[in-house]
Amino acid sequence: MKDNRTDTRRTRTKLVHGGTKRSQWGELSEAMFLTQGFAYDSAAAAEARFLQAGEDEYIYARYGNPTVRMFEERIALLEGSEDGFATASGMAAVNGALVAMLRAGDHVVAARALFGSCLYILEEILPRYGVEVTLVDGTDLDAWEAALRPDTKAVFFESMSNPTLEVIDIEAVSARAHAVGATVIVDNVFSTPVYSRALDQGADVVIYSATKHIDGQGRTLGGVILGTREFIRKTVEPYMKHTGGSMSPFTAWVLLKGLETIDLRVRAQTETAAALARRLAGHPALAQVIYPGLTDHAQHEVAMRQLGAGGTMLSIDLAGGKDAAFRVLDALEVILISNNLGDAKSIATHPATTTHQRIPPETRAVLGIGEGLIRISVGLEDVEDLAEDLLGALSGL
Ligand SMILES: *Cc1c(COP(=O)(O)O)cnc(C)c1O
């Protein structure tokens, strides 16, 4: 059988062929191995595999499965990591990476602008098990410096924050974290694996919710932890395989197909997002258009150095507050009101009343999540239809 599993090919080739394993029938498309278990040729073979499973040998789907392994290899090729562990959701990946490596007495520094469930793990769960957590403004390098200590074991942040699209400088934060020996764990969802060079820039571990751009078509929950073979197989795998957060083979198959097109999709979505940001900038109904690709974005220079693009997400701040935001959302015809992101369908979210509803208003104010803020995940529709939809909804104010 021809072997396309080479890491010397270019990105789009890796995304179509990387990690593919074929059965004796030589199927063209990746097979979905819907099996929890694997049968052994003999009792001695079972004993040997339990003693030490080989590179492509499986025991039980919670530990690994051929379709899941194909997904892990393909996303690891895209990110340029030695290995990866696929998880049932993005949150299983965040929780798994942190809990697998931390123990009572450890200290963690994290950026304050976090996805709600990530904040719950850091503020509620980890302290319950004796891990001390310090939250900082992720864009303030002096704040990182002041919070890091000799007992800091991990640093955690979203490289582009939700929903205010602050960009955190991976290189600068990693250099400071490594000076105290901390492991840098980056939740890279908004940056997307297409633009990420996080490992080259200093991150030790990169996490994706595959639910977002990797699926990109709103079908499944999934996640992945990427890092060195040592970290993935010695630290992450034992924790994940015994605690049940592994990815299902069906999910892995959907996500393998998502990876085949992710480069095309994310680049097209980014081009549309950039065009919409330019069209909306300066609109009289808007107090602000937030897009890392615009030169007036506070971390525009960091975004360009780190990602080379502004990404697929865009936020607009309505001068008229909640009332104006709701009127615009209700007037949209193409863009759907929902809370997912990275999807082929464009989605608008009002964070203050949905995804960030439970955050106290004072904290929302600190995070810059005002009542007029609308987050837009730009999809694959025609840019003119999206522009007409947004400008039409704004003109009704
Ligand atoms: C969605 C998301 C998660 C959680 O992913 P799920 O797949 O929904 O569990 C974590 N971090 C960020 C930044 C996200 O956007």
Residue range 128-164, pLDDT digits in tens: 999 999 999 999 999 999 999 999 999 999 999 999 9
Atom 7 of ligand 1 has which residue's CA nearest to it? Answer: 90
183 and 325 assigned to the same domain: no
Residue 376's nearest CA partner among 393, 362, 396, 360 is 393
Position in ligand 1 atom list of the atom nearest CA 158: 13
Does any ligand 1 atom lie closer than 6 A to the CB of residue 263?
no
What are the strands, taking DSSP E only, across the chain?
83-87, 107-111, 132-136, 152-158, 183-187, 205-209, 223-227, 286-290, 313-318, 336-337, 347-349, 373-377
285 CA from centroid of ligand 1 (Å): 31
Same domain, 154 and 99: yes
User: What's the 45 CA to ligand 1 centre distance in angstroms?
Assistant: 40
How many domains are there within the chain?
2
Q: Indicate whether 143 belongs to any domain.
A: yes
Residue 3 lies in a domain: no
What pLDDT does 6 receive?
A: 60
Q: Is 370 in the pocket of ligand 1 (CB under 6 A)?
A: no
For residue 369, CA distances in Å to 81, 159, 185, 276, 315 come to 34, 18, 24, 21, 10
Helix axes 249-280, 383-395, angle to 10 degrees: 60
Pocket of ligand 1 contains residue 115 by CB under 6 Å: yes
What separation in Å is there between the alpha carbon of 222 and the centre of ligand 1? 9
Residue 101 placed within a domain: yes
112 and 92 within one domain? yes
Q: Which residues of the chain have pLDDT under 50?
A: 1-2
Can you give the residue range of the structural domain that contains 87? Answer: 8-258
Residue 8: predicted pLDDT = 79
Edge-first strand order for the sheet with 132-136 is 83-87, 223-227, 205-209, 183-187, 152-158, 107-111, 132-136
Kind and range of the H or E run holding 172: helix 170-179
φ, ψ of residue 24 in degrees (nearest 5): -65, -15
195 and 315 part of one domain: no
Question: Could you tell me if 311 and 270 lie in one domain?
Answer: yes
DSSP of 1-30: ------TTS-HHHHHHHTT----TT--SSP
Query: Which residue's CA is minimally distant from atom 4 of ligand 1?
Result: 90
Instruction: List strand residue ranges (DSSP E) for 213-300, in order.
Output: 223-227, 286-290
pLDDT at 143: 98
**In ligand 1, which atom is closest to the CA atom of 114?**
13
Which residues are bridge partners to 83 per DSSP?
227
Q: Are residues 123 and 235 in the same domain?
A: yes
Give the pLDDT of residue 375.
98
- Tokens for 361? 């208003």
